[in-house]
Homo-oligomer: A and B are copies of this chain.
Amino acid sequence: MTVRVQEAPFDMGAEVEAFGKGLKGVGAIVTFSGIVRDEEGTLARMVIEHYAGMTEKALEKIEAEAVKRWNLAESLIIHRFGEMAPGDQIMMVATAARHRVDAFAAAEFLMDYLKSRAPFWKKEFGEDGDSWVAAKDEDEAALDRW
């Protein structure tokens, strides 16, 4: 169970490789990675602000909840803050379990909670100036299924 909040980019391939190493009794690994969409070239850059101090705590709480609900052998959350360009990786989660059902459900749960319960805020800088990304009703609604 690992949480990392960092400004630096991360190497998705290397993280996935390292995550899978040496796990016992694991038959299924699911990963998700979130990427800055290019929005057809209108987005110049994105800046993610976060609440240093609370962020790790919030992510660890979400992860602990996932561990309570599903039979997980391991999990990982990496989330960046600071400035990013279109195509850059923003974050990733990985879950390892004996069976695929647990690995998938836990990864989706982590993503749904992380979207609207971890203190990150995205600001987009584009052709038409800059604006804070608005939270989506569907992201809030996604929590109801858990």
Contacts and interface: CB of A to CB of B under 8 A. Distances in A.
Contacts of A104: 32, 104, 107-108, 111
Contacts of A17: 11-13
Nearest to A32: B30
A19 to B, nearest CB: 9
Interface of A: 11-17, 20, 23-40, 89, 98, 100, 103-104, 107-108, 111
Nearest to A29: B33
A1 to B, nearest CB: 19
A25 B12 contact: no
A40 to B, nearest CB: 7
A38 B25 contact: yes
B32 A37 contact: no
Given A12-B20, A28-B32, 20 more contacts: A11-B17, A12-B16, A12-B17, A13-B17, A20-B89, A25-B37, A25-B39, A26-B37, A27-B37, A28-B34, A29-B31, A29-B32, A30-B30, A30-B32, A32-B104, A34-B100, A100-B111, A104-B104, A104-B108, A104-B111
A13 B111 CA distance: 21
A14 to B, nearest CB: 6
